[in-house]
Chain A
Amino acid sequence: MLRFLALRLARAALTIILVVTFAFVVLRLSGDPALIIMSPEAPPEAIEAFRHAWGLDQPIWVQYLDYFSAIAHGDLGVSFRDGRPAIELVGERIPATLQLTVPALLLHIGLGVPAGIYAALHRNSTTDRLVMAGAVAGFTVPSFVLGLLLVLLFSVQLGWLPSGGQDSWRSMILPVITLGFGGAGILARFTRSAMLEVLGQPYIRTASAKGVPWALVVRGHALPNAAIPTVTIVGFMVGSLLAGAVVVESVFSWPGVGRLLVVAVANRDLAVVQCILLLVASTMVMSNLIVDLMYGVLDPRLRAGATAGAH
């Protein structure tokens, strides 16, 4: 278990280093920041001063190391547009994004997992077909289309819910549904196939052959085994949830990190973009670590530390 954790931690650190390197390389490849930020007609002394102030006159590897140490100290630069530290700008938007993503993730799990289990246990029933159709819809209807259709129906036609903004709990309903629905469908489909696979295993037949009641077979044998691949996919879904938040926040004018990212990209506010990129990378790394820890809880083989020879 310890060895397993150490390996995972090393990989997590590597991912962060790669993201920082990615940001650095892309930033440097994109041209001289001095010329991008200041107009090309700016006096040469001003450009020189700018380069010096930002350390752009140093050799590239010094810049690279400086970049790392700055990030390690929590210095993620200053928004070019606004003059405030990027980390502050991003930080104040995080609660709004969590307000959408956490309920949406709960919707994924709360709706998708039971629906998938039910569909697997009642194969070819109407519910099964509905779950599969929902999964296909979740995969093929882009969130911006779904969001706008919901606005058209519930805000424009019926006038029940606000079409955007962050005024009351009612303005959360449509964005959360938009963000949560597709993922719930995908998760349901995945849970269903994981369950079906487990239900086809010989130990399930053994258990029911020796007279264990079906409900106990499902609870004691099928569910714990199907949980492992399902947890993996939930970990992956955090990424698509973050990407989805970018689009959904834009559709509903929700003042979260995703909306900030779109505005920052349009304005080429590099410090803010880079800060969000790191935030997303850390979130992904964290969620992957949590998934790995969940494996430890769910899979007794890992708990016993028998990983060395397992593969």
Chain B
Amino acid sequence: MSATSLPAATTAAPPRRKASLPPLVVIAIVWIAAMVLIALLAEWLRPYGITALDLRARLTPPVGFGGTLKHLLGTDELGRDVTSRLIVSIRISLMIAMGATVIAAVFGTTMGFLAAHFRGLVEQFVLMLIDFQASMPFLILALSVLAFFGNALGLFVVLMGLYGWERHARIARGLAIAANAQGYAAAVRQLGARPLRIYLGHVLPNIASTLIVAATLSFPEVVLLESGLSFLGLGVQPPMTSLGNMVGYGREYLTRAPWILLAPSTVIVLTTLSVSLVGDWLRDRLDPTLS
């Protein structure tokens, strides 16, 4: 391998991009910021309760399509305000995806560190789990767990949190093994630091940027997974609402009231698009080794 990579070095690496933000990334960041704000302030922003019925204004179209300012994005079959439901859905979907991404990062990194620290059988076991996870479609594993355990919000978040852990584990293991061979980890070890301190205090800060990029890249996938499961009626359960849930419900009124479905669909697409744009940009900036 080293023999072949030597001459390859002559093909110069592309020059690093300048620090200025590409306009698309700026738009993406603005969109993400708006979504986070909406999620945080959902309880104040929503004009109506998500279960409040306005039976006289059922299936009102959005403003501009024959609707009124009373219901900006129209109403559904029961006269519930689509805007309010959308705002609360953004909050719930983002909270689940955020929680799940954090769980995956923490769990994956821990597994990776364990593998790097103990090597031997522990490492083989972790690698086997990684292979298993990577070789099975996650949606189908998640569905079978939901079949066996039934659905509760807490379990659902934890389950989503298993998504993508193997990528973090793989990265953390590789980087920790490399770090262990470097001077700084050996130096603190020589000074008598315990493993926990070495890994959390010294190795983790050094590899954090790579892990954060990996988490950013898996966040949109978790959003899609959650909305997919909720769409199938197997994720977030009514009366709670999430983006996928709204799409699933709106599907019943596809012909008569397409806005019920189009509003959350647009939010899902724009959000996953924005986060992946920012993630790709971050990856190129911070860590050219990930691809």
Known: A140-B269, A142-B224. A23 touches B144 (CB 8 A): yes
Q: Does B148 lie at the interface of the complex (its beta carbon under 8 Å from any beta carbon of A)?
A: yes
State in angstroms the CA–CA spacing of A246 and B7 once bound together.
47
Question: B133-174: which residues lie under 8 A (CB-CB) from chain A?
Answer: 135-141, 143-150
Binds A, one of B54-62, B109-117, B191-199, B247-255: B247-255
Report yes or no: A243 in contact with B231, Cβ–Cβ below 8 A: no
Report yes or no: B231 in contact with A247, Cβ–Cβ below 8 A: yes
Q: Mark contacts of B256-269 with chain A using CB atoms, 8 A cut-off: 1 yes-contact digit, 0 otherwise.
A: 00100100010011
Q: Does A145 lie at the interface of the complex (its beta carbon under 8 Å from any beta carbon of B)?
A: yes
On chain B, the number of residues with a Cβ less than 8 Å from chain A's Cβ atoms is 45
Show 17 residue pairs from A and B whose CB-CB distance is below 8 angstroms, ordered by the A residue. A15-B132, A22-B132, A139-B220, A139-B276, A142-B228, A142-B268, A156-B254, A202-B7, A202-B8, A242-B137, A265-B146, A265-B147, A269-B147, A273-B143, A276-B140, A281-B136, A284-B135
How distant is A90 from chain B, measured CB to nearest CB, in Å?
13
Report yes or no: B232 in contact with A15, Cβ–Cβ below 8 A: no
How distant is B53 from chain A, measured CB to nearest CB, in Å?
25
State in angstroms the CA–CA spacing of A274 and B246 once bound together.
29
Please classify how large the interface on chain A is, using the bins under 10, 10 to 19, 20 to 34, 35 or more. 35 or more
Report yes or no: A29 in contact with B148, Cβ–Cβ below 8 A: yes
Nearest opposing residue in chain A for B258, CB measure: A152
State in angstroms the CA–CA spacing of A193 and B276 once bound together.
18
Q: Mark contacts of A134-145 with chain B using CB atoms, 8 A cut-off: 1 yes-contact digit, 0 otherwise.
A: 001001111111
Main secondary structure of the interface of B (DSSP, over half): helix
How distant is B32 from chain A, measured CB to nearest CB, in Å?
13
- Which of A141, A201, A262, A273 is within 8 Å of B269, CB to CB? A141
Indicate the member of A14, A265, A274 with the most B CB atoms within 10 Å: A265
Report yes or no: B265 in contact with A273, Cβ–Cβ below 8 A: no
- Which of B8, B10, B143, B265 is within 8 Å of A261, CB to CB? B143
Report yes or no: A246 in contact with B232, Cβ–Cβ below 8 A: yes
Binding site for A on B (CB under 8 A): 7-8, 10-11, 128, 131-132, 135-141, 143-150, 220, 224, 227-228, 231-234, 244, 247-248, 251, 254-255, 258, 261, 265, 268-269, 272-273, 276, 291
How distant is A66 from chain B, measured CB to nearest CB, in Å?
18
User: For residue A266, which residues in chain B have a CB less than 8 angstroms away from its CB?
Assistant: 233-234
Binding site for B on A (CB under 8 A): 11, 14-15, 18-19, 22-23, 26-27, 29-30, 136, 139-145, 148-149, 151-152, 156, 193, 200-202, 239-240, 242-243, 246-247, 250-251, 261-262, 264-266, 268-270, 273-274, 276-277, 280-281, 284-285, 288
- Which of A136, A143, A202 is within 8 Å of B273, CB to CB? A136
